[in-house]
Amino acid sequence: MSLSLYGPIFSVSKTTTDSYNEVTIKPIGKYIYFHGQKYGIKILDYVGNVIRSIKATDDFSRLWNLNLLRLNATQGEHFFGYGDGQFPRCSPRLGTCGAEFEKCLDDGTCNVMCPTPRYHCDEGNFGAPFYDAKTKVLFIDGHCTGSRIYKYDPVNGYIDDWQVDASYQECAGAGILAYDETYFYLIWQYGVRPHKANFYRCKWDTLRNAWKSTPYLKDACELLVRDLSVGYDRTTQSAPEQGGWLVDYSDGNVWDERILKPDGTVISLNKNRHIARIYATKYAIHRSSGSTSISILDLTTLSVVQTITLPYKYSNEPGFAQQRLPFIVLTDDSKYYIYLLKYGNYVPVIQYDSSIRKFRVIDLITGNPITAKVKVWCSSIGYPSGRFPLGITPREITVSDWTSPQACGGGAVTIEISDIILI
């Protein structure tokens, strides 16, 4: 089944001709959260009308795609984080630097949940929030976050943080890599260009019931491998087809996409960064900032099965998942052009209804339900998009309209599209 571009569904005028042109886009309920360099952060509808502006900034885009959806009684709550070197809403201790953790509702209203205290000027890139259904808190990792794991209450905000290592280096990172109900893996990146990292195995119970049981989180975990030639990016994704996680490496000149496996093995893919899984279990997309084409890869072999020529350049981005699929953002000197990535005849997305606790798969172009196969994980941890557990086998079901996920006994449900069925 081939993939193709649909659109543009709308365009946004740029407020800068800067060649960097970083941009972020992601859905929030019935709206879109959009951030372009010097454009600011705005909530748009699906035809490009501005519903509200969150803040103005001329800093580059630092919004991360690994957001978490938590359903409450009436609306979905979307959690994600970013950093902003200019005009932060969270009071920093050093200069204008500041990390911001955001919660937005389906109706497009947003609220910043500020972390305290601040530790370093260059801490600003919150990454993946994990929701613990047992203790009802969020655990958040990040890159340049003072190398800490943060604990948040979904309603009231910051609770505490736990430093991973005694040392601190500019843009050091600490990443939670989910594995199963008992264990997660911790990647501690201390080297930047060339990337270097230590790799640990930890228990979720350490975060739940043994919080700050040691001065540093690494001391509460099992060290597996030192000095790995890998980096941690807050947009790191799970790659079960390859038996590990998609990470990257840079020596300051060359970027290389790599697979990190749970035993600490590192496999080079000889790809220049920017690989992201799409439509779950079949394909990946490989793209480079400023390029005029994107490659579609088979997720198992990682061989190119299709190349799509772009009508404009692919907009720049420092992380490979900032533009949340099925959105593709292209650019020229004056505008951002927002396209959709079609899978066969459809643009499949998951739609949910908080009031009835059901979901279905719809075609984003027509809004009509379509028949699809989805994978469902049931666990005590709610996982952010793209970073589900490697050690838990999901259940695959076929849905054609509103469907209740399997009962999880008060736990969390993670759903991902694996294929669509043409009728």
| pTM for the whole structure | 0.92
Range of weakest confidence among 208-212, 335-339, 353-357, 385-389: 353-357
240-272 pLDDT, tens digit each: 888 999 888 888 888 888 999 999 999 998 877
CB atoms within 10 A of CB 90: 19
Which one-letter amino acid corresponds to residue 184? F
77 forms beta bridges with 70, 105
Strands of 23-28's sheet in order across: 23-28, 31-36, 40-44, 50-55
Q: Quote the pLDDT of residue 291.
A: 80
Tell me how far apart the alpha carbons of residues 229 and 267 are, in angstroms, rounded to a whole number: 10
Tell me how far apart the alpha carbons of residues 331 and 335 are, in angstroms, rounded to a whole number: 6
Give the Å distances, CA to CA, from 303 to 232, 270, 361. 24, 11, 28
Structure-model confidence comparison of residues 316 and 5, the more confident one: 5
Does the pLDDT of residue 273 top 80, yes or no? no
Beta strands 125-132 and 283-286 are: unpaired
Non-local CB neighbours of 115 within 8 Å, separated by 6+ positions? 90, 99, 101, 126, 150, 158, 161
Range of weakest confidence among 111-115, 131-135, 176-180, 313-317: 313-317
Tell me how far apart the alpha carbons of residues 289 and 165 are, in angstroms, rounded to a whole number: 33
Mean pLDDT taken over the chain: 84
Output 4-7 pairs: Cβ under 8 A, ≥24 positions apart.
Answer: 4/308, 4/341, 4/342, 5/308, 5/310, 5/311, 5/328, 5/339, 5/340, 5/341, 5/342, 6/339, 6/340, 6/341, 6/342, 6/347, 6/365, 7/337, 7/338, 7/339, 7/340
Tell me the DSSP string of 168-217. --TT-EEEEEE-SSSEEEEEEEEETTTTEEEEEEEEHHHHHH-TTSSSSG
Range of weakest confidence among 28-32, 111-115, 180-184, 199-203: 111-115
Does the pLDDT of residue 317 top 70, yes or no? no
3-class state of residue 123 by DSSP: coil
Q: Quote the pLDDT of residue 320.
A: 44
Tell me how far apart the alpha carbons of residues 130 and 177 are, in angstroms, rounded to a whole number: 10
Tokens describing residue 118: 């601040």
318-361 pLDDT, tens digit each: 444 456 778 888 888 888 899 999 988 999 999 988 888 889 99
Give the Å distances, CA to CA, from 130 to 67, 207, 254, 373. 9, 11, 32, 25
Domain 3-343 is found in CATH 2.130.10.10? yes
Give the Å distances, CA to CA, from 356 to 352, 359, 367, 403. 9, 9, 19, 10
Mean pLDDT of 178-182: 96
